[in-house]
Amino acid sequence: MSVTAAKGFTASGVAAGIKENGNPDLALVVNNGPRLAAAGVFTSNRVKAAPVLWSEQVLKGGQVSAVVLNSGGANACTGPLGFQDTHATAEKTAEVLGHSAGEVAIASTGLIGLRLPMDPLLSGLETAAAALSEHGGEKAAIAIKTTDTVHKTAVAQGPDGAWTVGGMAKGAGMLAPGLATMLVVLTTDADLEAPALDAALRDATRTTFDRIDSDGCMSTNDTVLLLASGASGVTPAADAFAEAVRTVCADLARQLIGDAEGASKDIRIEVVGAATEDDAVEVGRSIARNNLLKCAIHGEDPNWGRVLSAIGTTSAVFEPDQLNVAINDVWVCKNGSVGEDRELVDMRYREVRITADLAAGSESAVIWANDLTADYVHENSAYSS
Amino acid sequence: MSVTAAKGFTASGVAAGIKENGNPDLALVVNNGPRLAAAGVFTSNRVKAAPVLWSEQVLKGGQVSAVVLNSGGANACTGPLGFQDTHATAEKTAEVLGHSAGEVAIASTGLIGLRLPMDPLLSGLETAAAALSEHGGEKAAIAIKTTDTVHKTAVAQGPDGAWTVGGMAKGAGMLAPGLATMLVVLTTDADLEAPALDAALRDATRTTFDRIDSDGCMSTNDTVLLLASGASGVTPAADAFAEAVRTVCADLARQLIGDAEGASKDIRIEVVGAATEDDAVEVGRSIARNNLLKCAIHGEDPNWGRVLSAIGTTSAVFEPDQLNVAINDVWVCKNGSVGEDRELVDMRYREVRITADLAAGSESAVIWANDLTADYVHENSAYSS
């Protein structure tokens, strides 16, 4: 499964000694071709980690032969020396695999502002290369975990299994401490060139990873890569391929929300009746980021007033006295005022559904979020000290 | 002191029975003239409580003879009936005092989405009117508390005590539960007309109340009023009056941050070296609202990487490799990378100072915020249920 579900890929995950606790911390994913096409999307944070700056350049060439991912350190805000560390990692990988360093993508996750321990990392690359296997996908997924409690993988196939899209992810939405959150590697044996991969990947991330919002904090390290080996020999229809990529991304995105740090609830926020999709997304994000509402959901309190106050901060098209809000399908707010009895809302389960009807059009969007808990505070107040 | 520090004002605070626990919940502030000039600023949330909609209309006339403030209910998202309740409150006040209802401002605070208990409120107005006193300022300040642990008052005077500006406030920045947060009434015996009051009030709120940001949640009820009685007979210079109003507003704003719900730290965020003041405010707000940083401050962890990641989400002018950050005067980040030893930062005290230097100009701004604590989660997850 994972990144080795598609033909043409090998992977491994080892404990290189980057993490002080001895847990697996280095993953290697290799594309054995015949094609080396690739696409990537990266954090839009203007403060970008060294591996993001490096990989953005690599992806401009549209070819990736290998991806190195480490947990145990984000290599962000580490200056020119940190960038040299990333460069050295790519050079070492190229040397061990007999590839070109310009086709090696790098991703890192962990605390910001600390240099990586390069000796264990570089010697770990030799171990990781020796361990490469067609069945290494799970070990790779395990090696990129930080505070994730489970590793995350997903797979989808084309008609009759003619081609496969697989993937792995780490992180807890935007909730992971140190802001080194979401690393995703997707692989496929479909025979496609870089522009086709790029189109499918951007289409998928726009409505999946870009619409999970655990705590509103944007990472310096977010990286999502899609590698194609062409090993199936099949070139799928664009629609079918896009759908498969979207399925795998949505699956992984849902797993990230489900394992968000300290969270006790997964909140599905659907905004309907919007004049535009942008309006729906803006309102969804505003609701997703409202700390008071997130606390209320944690307390299983259907406090719809906090939903309305969040909607009221946006520039979306709506009239305050026409807003409707349902929590777990009970319309507790109608026409901007009191609706059905809030006592009817059952919030005992982990998944909570909020529906906000702007009564201004026919567009919609879904944003996933988490509640705000004392556990979140505890985990994130004691992370680096 | 409080709203009765200035000549020409009487006030009272009583327990009308709006709150179930029997605490004081109704305040009345009366301007006895000779002048009835007034100015006000209100929440920019598009979902506005009934008393905000009412008082915005009253203030357009530039005359306020009395202000009624209740805790125990926000009267927000209560529809046309809620607005009728506010109207009835103004009519009753006018009847009891012999004023015009169109000159009675109303402010409410408490849970959103519930109608106010009108019988106790209206009969409470008679009690409050009977209790009006030149020494009633403190009781009025006490009656508007919700989860505030202390009442908040401030005063400033012109040269030789020729005129006075006094005020009271309730709320905990934007931290108060139910989003019914900040109510402020300022009074002065300076002899000024409404436009002069409006100019001084907007100038003062722009750099005081508008720059405290406890949890990024914008209220449906925020109201700041300034009433002038003219009873000193002195018309101060515009600059001196603006300075006095700003002093009182800054004092009250600092008290709100200091009493924010669940907070253990008051965070002073100063952005310097900005290309524009707008840039400085945008960056300050982004830092103030970063949940991961707020958790780190709670844990006394000088996690400057979280400051940089917050700056990176803004559109301000800066280069990532020129950013500098100090925490309690230790420059832990220089040129976007590791600076002085983070172990040098002493964070044991309640006030924490973050300085972010954008190295892009000479403008600056100060934003005040709070940390994020388990106590905040507890208070806000159990408020309405």
Predicted confidence at residue A44, as pLDDT, reads 84
- Which chain A residue is nearest to residue B47, measuring alpha carbons? A312
Query: Do residue A309 and residue B112 have CB atoms under 8 angstroms apart?
Result: yes
Alpha-carbon dihedral B313, B317, B322, B325, rounded to 10 degrees: -60
B269 - beta bridge partners?
Answer: B354, B367
Query: Do residue B217 and residue A320 have CB atoms under 8 angstroms apart?
Result: no
Question: Of B31, B80, B78, B76, nearest to B58 (Cα)?
Answer: B31
B41 - beta bridge partners?
Answer: B224
Of B292, B338, B381, the CB nearest to A179: B292
Query: Do residue A381 and residue B220 have CB atoms under 8 angstroms apart?
Result: no
SS3 for A254?
Answer: helix
What is the tens place of the pLDDT at every residue in B296-348? 999 999 999 889 989 988 999 999 999 999 999 999 999 999 999 999 999 99
Predicted confidence at residue B383, as pLDDT, reads 54
Decide if B303 touches A, using CB distance below 8 A.
Answer: yes
* Residues contacting A195, CB < 8 A, separation 6+: A62
Query: Do residue B79 and residue A337 have CB atoms under 8 angstroms apart?
Result: yes
Element (H, E) at B155: strand B152-157
How many C-beta neighbours within 10 Å does residue B134 have?
A: 13
Residues of B in contact with A217 (CB under 8 A): 290-292, 306, 309-310
- What interhelical angle do A118-130 and A79-97 show, nearest 10? 20
Task: Select B266-381's CATH number: 3.40.50.1820, 3.30.1280.10, 3.40.50.300, 3.10.20.340.
Answer: 3.10.20.340
Decide if B57 touches A, using CB distance below 8 A.
Answer: no
What is the tens place of the pLDDT at every residue in B118-152? 999 999 999 999 999 999 999 999 999 988 888 99
Q: Distance of CA A173 to CAs A177, A261, A294, B62, B238, Å?
A: 10, 9, 15, 50, 52
Decide if A323 touches B, using CB distance below 8 A.
Answer: yes
Interface test with B, best of A264, A343, A377, A378 (most B CBs within 10 A): A377
Q: What's the gap in Å between the CA of B210 and the closest CA on chain A?
A: 15
Query: Do residue B374 and residue A372 have CB atoms under 8 angstroms apart?
Result: no
Decide if B298 touches A, using CB distance below 8 A.
Answer: yes
Between CA A97 and CA A257 the distance in angstroms is 35
Query: Do residue B48 and residue A312 have CB atoms under 8 angstroms apart?
Result: yes
Cβ-contact A131, A12 below 8 angstroms: yes
Burial class of residue A176, CB neighbours in 10 A (0-12, 13-18, 19+): buried
β-strands B104-108, B66-70: how paired? Answer: parallel
Structure tokens at B212: 């405290």
Of B77, B217, B321, the CB nearest to A292: B217
Residue B328 per-residue DSSP state: T
- The CATH number given to A2-258 is 3.60.70.12
| Residue B222: band (very low, low, confident or very high) from pLDDT cuts 50, 70, 90 | confident
Predicted confidence at residue A175, as pLDDT, reads 44
Cβ-contact B289, B213 below 8 angstroms: yes
Predicted confidence at residue A180, as pLDDT, reads 41
What is the tens place of the pLDDT at every residue in B168-219? 998 864 443 333 467 889 999 999 999 999 999 999 998 888 888 877 777 7
Predicted confidence at residue A172, as pLDDT, reads 65
Decide if A52 touches B, using CB distance below 8 A.
Answer: no
- What interhelical angle do A50-60 and A79-97 show, nearest 10? 50
DSSP letters of A64-100? -SEEEEE-SB---S-HHHHHHHHHHHHHHHHHHHT--
Determine which one of B4, B164, B181, B188 is catalytic: B181
Predicted confidence at residue B286, as pLDDT, reads 92
Between CA B67 and CA B87 the distance in angstroms is 13
Q: What's the gap in Å between the CA of A58 and the closest CA on chain B?
A: 21
β-strands A351-357, B183-188: how paired? Answer: unpaired
Residue A36 per-residue DSSP state: -
Residue range B38-63: average pLDDT?
A: 92
Residue range B351-359: average pLDDT?
A: 97
Residues of A in contact with B309 (CB under 8 A): 45, 47, 76, 112, 179, 217-220
Predicted confidence at residue B177, as pLDDT, reads 32
Q: What is the residue whose two structure tokens read 């707008």?
A: B278
Binding residues of B, as ranges, are 146, 170, 181, 261, 380, 385
Query: Do residue A309 and residue B179 have CB atoms under 8 angstroms apart?
Result: yes
The dihedral region occupied by A17, where left means phi > 0, alpha psi between -120 and 50, and beta the remainder, is left
Residues of B in contact with A372 (CB under 8 A): 291, 377
Predicted confidence at residue A176, as pLDDT, reads 34
Predicted confidence at residue A153, as pLDDT, reads 93
Q: What percent of chain B has pLDDT over 90?
A: 76
Decide if B309 touches A, using CB distance below 8 A.
Answer: yes
Of B46, B300, B314, the CB nearest to A312: B46
Q: What is the residue whose two structure tokens read 């696409």?
A: A39
Q: Domains of chain B: which residue ranges?
A: 2-258, 266-381
Burial class of residue B149, CB neighbours in 10 A (0-12, 13-18, 19+): exposed
Please list the ranges in chain A whose pLDDT falls under 50. 173-180, 385
- Active site annotation includes A109: no
Could you say which residues from 61 to 100 on chain B have a Cβ atom under 8 Å away from some Cβ of chain A? 74, 76-79, 82
Q: What's the gap in Å between the CA of B136 and the closest CA on chain A?
A: 33
Spatial strand order of the sheet with A37-42 comes to A37-42, A223-228, A183-188, A164-170, A152-157
Spatial strand order of the sheet with B337-338 comes to B337-338, B330-334, B324-327, B351-357, B266-274, B363-370
Decide if B56 touches A, using CB distance below 8 A.
Answer: no
Could you say which residues from 213 to 272 on chain A have a Cβ atom under 8 Å away from some Cβ of chain B? 215-220
Residue B322 per-residue DSSP state: G
- The amino acid at residue B282 is E
Between CA A211 and CA A283 the distance in angstroms is 12
Is A309 or B66 the better-scoring residue by pLDDT?
B66
Predicted confidence at residue B176, as pLDDT, reads 34
Decide if B320 touches A, using CB distance below 8 A.
Answer: yes
Query: Do residue B320 and residue A48 have CB atoms under 8 angstroms apart?
Result: yes
